[in-house]
């Protein structure tokens, strides 16, 4: 079946969530790397907990709560001088170096984002990074008040794009997202940025391995720039 649309995860796939490190280190000297990794891991954990507890808060609020946790965990009391610049950085995350070239190479195809981010966060991020010139549709899970990998999140794609799920290639570097999208029925490409020889940090080890959930991706690639060739080969 021909791929008619590519749907990208945002955080960790198109955008480097670890690009907050420099600011975290400046604001929490000697503790920036730990804060950065804890923040992301706790952010994801809170999305899953909020979904399971049926106590939804949007991603901006979840991100702020996770940041408070991370800062306190390293022995620093959260305050506006530390937390406001860090969370604002989520509107200015760096795209991965391979993002622009890949999206440009895919121009003319239907390209979309499906993300946990709120509409405001995603629109600002796309505008600030310039990726809005290629991404034509932004889909936020906010409308179903649940977080990926809940099936209702992936269910937003078909009505938004008018394309059947089997004609969608879902692209993510987050292994939990890969499993959720595959279970839903998408063709899935896993961008395995931190492979077997990846960074030996807790974050790197978690990120660089597939989930043991029985839903393997259709394709495993090492960079976004592998996508155009992969899509052409399927035509």
Q: Which of 9, 16, 58, 142 is labelled catalytic?
A: 9
Question: Of the candidates 19, 18, 2, 14, which has an alpha carbon nearest to the alpha carbon of residue 225?
Answer: 14
Residue 64, phi-psi category: left (phi > 0), alpha (psi -120 to 50), beta (remainder): alpha
Provide the token pair at 85.
């610049």
Burial-class residue 220 by CB neighbours within 10 Å (0-12, 13-18, 19+): middle
What angle, 0 to 180 degrees and rounded to 10, lies between the N-to-C axes of helices 59-73 and 119-129? Answer: 80
For the CA atoms of the chain, what is the radius of gyration?
Answer: 17
Dist. CA 93–CA 105, nearest whole Å: 22
Catalytic residue status for 226 = no
Task: Give residue for tokens 């991706």.
Answer: 217
Residues 40/173, Cβ–Cβ less than 8 Å: no
Q: Which residues are catalytic?
A: 9
């Amino acid at each position: 079946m021909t791929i008619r649309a590519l749907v990208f995860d945002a955080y960790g796939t198109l955008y480097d969530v670890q690009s907050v490190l420099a600011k975290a280190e400046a604001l929490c000297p000697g503790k920036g790397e730990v804060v950065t990794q804890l923040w992301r891991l706790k952010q994801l954990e809170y999305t899953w907990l909020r979904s399971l507890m049926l106590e939804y808060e949007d991603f901006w609020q979840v991100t702020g709560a996770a940041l408070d946790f991370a800062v306190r965990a390293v022995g620093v009391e959260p305050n506006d001088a530390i937390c406001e610049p860090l969370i604002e950085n989520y509107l200015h995350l760096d795209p991965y170096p391979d993002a622009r070239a890949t999206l440009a190479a895919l121009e003319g195809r239907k390209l979309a984002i499906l993300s946990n981010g709120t509409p405001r966060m995603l629109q600002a991020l796309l505008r600030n990074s310039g990726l809005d010139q290629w991404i034509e549709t932004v889909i936020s899970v906010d409308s179903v008040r649940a977080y990926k990998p809940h099936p209702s999140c992936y269910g937003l794609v078909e009505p938004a794009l008018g394309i059947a799920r089997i004609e969608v290639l879902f692209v993510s570097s987050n292994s939990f997202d890969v499993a959720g999208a595959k279970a839903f029925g998408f063709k899935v490409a896993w961008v395995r940025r931190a492979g077997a020889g990846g960074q030996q940090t807790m974050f790197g080890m978690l990120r660089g391995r597939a989930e043991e959930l029985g839903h393997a991706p259709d394709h495993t690639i090492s960079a976004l720039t592998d996508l155009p060739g992969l899509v052409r080969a399927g035509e």
